[in-house]
Structure 1
């Protein structure tokens, strides 16, 4: 008791000291008080919330059980005989066994386990749900291999058959122009498409910004009067590589503004390795798949060059394809491998030459007779796994090559006509199909998009695109949509509303915007808010009222006078003297004065001048000095007496 009293006195003294300190310092207290929690109320609230959640879960479970029972009854009708045989073998329903468990008072632990408070751990929940589903199953057993839904069968069939993954149920057509679409490019996200053609134009298409009118938001000519050969977005999607018919590749940003332009080499140097850039027309180009600053170009000068975006004044490396005799060969297409370690080029003599990216002298792989010499291979592309190379030749063939055995092709497809030097081929995103386009002459049929199985190389599918050649094709792995460029200026996009993502699906659902019609006025209206009332013009409300007023005005509605015919009247000159110069010429021509003898014309005034010399001598009587005339000539004797230097020289 004494100790308690001392503690109370000490506490009261401390409280008093705190109060005195607070009054001296001028504030009410030292900080906030600690919060107090009513644990009983919190536990009660938690218990109620858990019970409500468990009731919801139970209700959802009961609904699922009812649906399963309906399905089981429907299946039981179709398997009535089997149901009568195997009905006794099934487990008893849970509804008949659960009341006994609930009525037994001895199993208190089981009751506590059944009353679930709060969500159980994931493992227990899944195991308990599985057990309940097994116990609550009512109906005859299903035959072996039977599945609940037909969707699973369809999904498995789609997995097994790659043809059903081709998104070709719907299509949209983008009108690039009237000439061949020779270049296509999609950014990595699939938001923007760029198209280039033989009409020198590069058009930008934004799927998210387009409506059903399908109009490009920008059109420009970055290379002036040169055909566009290739367009490709970088791996980050911020810049575009433009390869055209000139010798200088360009880099544009996403809005079409030029970032850099590669330097042109010296065309008078024999060794192309000593020049800083290409000296002849470009054929193809592409970005490095791993390094965002590096890109590749090939040209008619017989070189394949790598470039760096940060250094436009000089190339990085030069690769020079050679024929079997060691002569220069023109590369017509080039590409990187998927890992970026190899550089492949298809050449005019039908060879495919592959270099290590870091070793530019000798080729790592070389196939001398890949295609017919002089056929100009138009495309090389690597599979996604990097083990197979596909080549599209100008000899109407499509071939695949194993990188582990590069001497002979794996598969060959013939009869695929190609009229363009940039006809494409590409692999499907799942790497099971190979796609290419075919060319046709004008009026000779439709160009097609052909799909081959990569392993068997059998033609598994074909799409009729248009009544013109199929030049470019692109299968975007993220959108799962196919872009096609044709020879008549169209760019088509094939998609599937279920299998495809975004892309063309964004613009086809938007209604076409109404065009705003600009109102035209008869004359410009000048706004003068501070003018005096006498000079202030009334504001024009509409053009129709103004036209009506002008019609009533006799000055404005006066008919202009017709041109004068004849000699002219009222001070107006006739048509043949309509201008001042023609009028003067006409009057001069009609002058009857005879100026054939100019001396007589001048001397006709001589008599008047001699009789009345007012205008000659009298005008200078006051200002004219006295005239000084030459002296008279001396006699011969006086002339002889003069010195020689005074004598006049004859």
Structure 2
């Protein structure tokens, strides 16, 4: 009886539980558990080191270090789960999300922008749908590429992106990566920067106007900030020249960071920029720009790169992260001395785009570290509320906290983009991706087992009989998977399908077909003169190309010479020469 029960159970497991088409569902809870970040102790060790330093100073600890409270802090911030994107090849320098949180764009030192759409990704297809080289210009033969310093979505018009590369000309790109505007380059031989129509040297950073969709500002190494109107690319609207007072600078220095903020409840906006000479300069966002509203000399140590700067949502606080291993908090109403100052190891000497950001409601400040940890700081004291590892051993360079998604996006030196979220606190974005059913893999999805014919053969190859196949002659032929999905389709949804057309219609003829069905095809392997002489008699007796006129061809009739012209034209020419 027992053996019968065992056989019946084996048969039940072998037989399907249902017939017909099965609906494909997703175990959302299991997928979310897979994306949960493992508990670590490195962040707690860093927090304990901060607390021990406070105890040595005689101050009360800012927080309790119990494990239960650590877990409560992790639940308070959207860092319990993560989504990892490995779409770049080099260091991630900048990240941006559109206001709706549906599209993520990342920039890197590999000179490309990667466009990610959360609506089209699944847990098994975490990839960018398009790669863009912002340095390439339409109709230009210049193939130079430049590292991407910064990319920012327009907060008012998400159809525009401000892209800053290591080049004097910033660009405005569309939502899908097409170049809309390329700002003009100034005359480098003019000494007065007010008279140049654009930057004369490399642009380092930029920012959008907080309330006007048509205005943006760029800062460069020519010691200027330039305000642009996107409707006029031939000249900037305003020029803000920073006159450095550092010794030996000749009045010029490099502008390293810029931010443009406005109070969320309304009011005057401010424009703040940092320079390589250590100064911090503030202008009124709406002008006049003939002189700054406030300037702090030696806000940070001169000749150190201050790459991180941001303004709080109420427009009152400015936080800076300097290359002198400090983070400082400033009050725009009393723009003289920092109201808070803490030590924080800098990464700007190696990664100039290392930034620092306020949270959406300015209740926290986030930044990265050389060790790959994410630091969430208290804006009142700049002490860490939470330190959590994201890419241990690899520097965390750029951070972003999106307001609508309530998710944190980080970019690291190991070319990884991490989207941190919490299923209970976050909305959309990475949470939506991990809630979808994984895509079923098909044998055609493996590019090693399929042949890419989506771009055809005529434009990318030369058919050479005897060569054993087509010879790739272009970049697209040598890299057939660039710009394509694993199934061979274009990643650009607007691009129509291109049929595989060749000079010989549908098929690519082999050597035998060419030799047997195409007349005179063997002449391509012979000396042209010998081949023509070999067919001279045959062409005379059986003309191939003029055979249709053989019967109807008229005889050639020449004019007869008269008696006065017996000598002929040749003898007349000779007489004239004599």
TMscore range, shorter length: 0.5 to 0.7
Shift of 1:335: 1.0
Q: Which residue does the alignment assign to 2:186?
A: 265
Tell me the TM-score normalised to structure 2 length: 0.60
Matches within 5 A, 1:492-511: 492-510=418-436, 511=438
Deviations 1:320-370 (A, max 9, x none): 112236812221111112246221110001110011231112111111011
Q: Is 1:514 matched up with 2:441? A: yes
Question: Does the CA contact (< 8 Å) of 1:398 and 1:414 recur in 2?
Answer: yes
Question: Does the CA contact (< 8 Å) of 1:179 and 1:197 recur in 2?
Answer: yes
Counterpart CA distance in 1 for 2:225 and 2:147 is: 20
Counterpart CA distance in 1 for 2:340 and 2:442 is: 54
Counterpart CA distance in 1 for 2:216 and 2:73 is: 33
Q: Is 1:437 matched up with 2:357? A: no
Say if 1:164 and 1:412 are closer, same or farther in 2 by CA, change over 3 A: farther
Q: Is 1:173 matched up with 2:84? A: yes
Counterpart CA distance in 1 for 2:169 and 2:194 is: 16
Counterpart CA distance in 2 for 1:299 and 1:251 is: 17
Question: Does the CA contact (< 8 Å) of 1:432 and 1:455 recur in 2?
Answer: no
Question: Does the CA contact (< 8 Å) of 2:197 and 2:234 recur in 1?
Answer: yes
Q: 2:152 aligns with which of 229, 232, 242?
A: 232
Q: 1:323 aligns with which of 229, 241, 244?
A: 244
Question: Does the CA contact (< 8 Å) of 2:270 and 2:315 recur in 1?
Answer: no
Q: Which residue does the alignment assign to 1:65?
A: none
Q: Is 1:477 matched up with 2:399? A: no
Q: Which residue does the alignment assign to 1:349?
A: 277
Question: Does the CA contact (< 8 Å) of 1:177 and 1:199 recur in 2?
Answer: yes
With 195-204 and 161-170 compared, the bigger mean Cα shift is at 161-170
Shift of 1:163: 6.3
Aligned length: 373
Deviations 1:494-550 (A, max 9, x none): 0000100001111122212434628669xx9xxxxxxxxxxxxxxxxxxxxxxxxxx
Counterpart CA distance in 2 for 1:580 and 1:290 is: 73
Deviations 1:355-400 (A, max 9, x none): 1231112111111011010001102101111111000111121111
Counterpart CA distance in 2 for 1:253 and 1:219 is: 13
Shift of 1:196: 0.7
Q: Is 1:215 matched up with 2:108? A: no
SS in 2 for 1:502: coil
Question: Does the CA contact (< 8 Å) of 1:452 and 1:458 recur in 2?
Answer: yes
Shift of 1:404: 1.9
Say if 1:579 and 1:286 are closer, same or farther in 2 by CA, change over 3 A: same
SS in 2 for 1:449: strand
Say if 1:385 and 1:164 are closer, same or farther in 2 by CA, change over 3 A: farther
Matches within 5 A, 1:144-543: 164-212=75-123, 213-224=125-136, 225-236=145-156, 237-324=158-245, 327-339=251-263, 341-357=269-285, 358-418=287-347, 419-439=350-370, 446-466=371-391, 467-510=393-436, 511-515=438-442, 517=444
Q: Which structure's CA Rg is the greater one?
A: 1
SS in 2 for 1:208: helix
Deviations 1:147-178 (A, max 9, x none): xxxxxxxxxx99xx876421111001111222
Counterpart CA distance in 2 for 1:230 and 1:520 is: 37
Tell me the TM-score normalised to structure 1 length: 0.54
Say if 1:352 and 1:520 are closer, same or farther in 2 by CA, change over 3 A: closer
Counterpart CA distance in 2 for 1:520 and 1:465 is: 39
SS in 1 for 2:120: coil
Deviations 1:609-642 (A, max 9, x none): xxxxxxxxxxxxxx999xxxxxxxxxxxxxxxxx
Say if 1:308 and 1:162 are closer, same or farther in 2 by CA, change over 3 A: farther
Say if 1:208 and 1:323 are closer, same or farther in 2 by CA, change over 3 A: same
Shift of 1:432: 2.0
Question: Does the CA contact (< 8 Å) of 2:92 and 2:416 recur in 1?
Answer: yes
Shift of 1:191: 0.6
Question: Does the CA contact (< 8 Å) of 1:243 and 1:285 recur in 2?
Answer: yes
Counterpart CA distance in 2 for 1:463 and 1:258 is: 38
Say if 1:508 and 1:580 are closer, same or farther in 2 by CA, change over 3 A: same
Deviations 1:17-44 (A, max 9, x none): xxxxxxxxxxxxxxxxxxxxxxxxxxxx
Counterpart CA distance in 2 for 1:411 and 1:515 is: 57
Gaps of 5+ in 2: 1-67, 137-144, 457-509, 513-524, 531-565, 569-578
With 425-434 and 229-238 compared, the bigger mean Cα shift is at 425-434
Gaps of 5+ in 1: 1-156, 440-445, 525-555, 559-577, 584-622, 626-650
Question: Does the CA contact (< 8 Å) of 2:74 and 2:80 recur in 1?
Answer: no
Question: Does the CA contact (< 8 Å) of 1:163 and 1:460 recur in 2?
Answer: no
Counterpart CA distance in 1 for 2:435 and 2:101 is: 17
Question: Does the CA contact (< 8 Å) of 2:322 and 2:346 recur in 1?
Answer: no
Counterpart CA distance in 1 for 2:217 and 2:149 is: 14
Counterpart CA distance in 2 for 1:341 and 1:469 is: 33
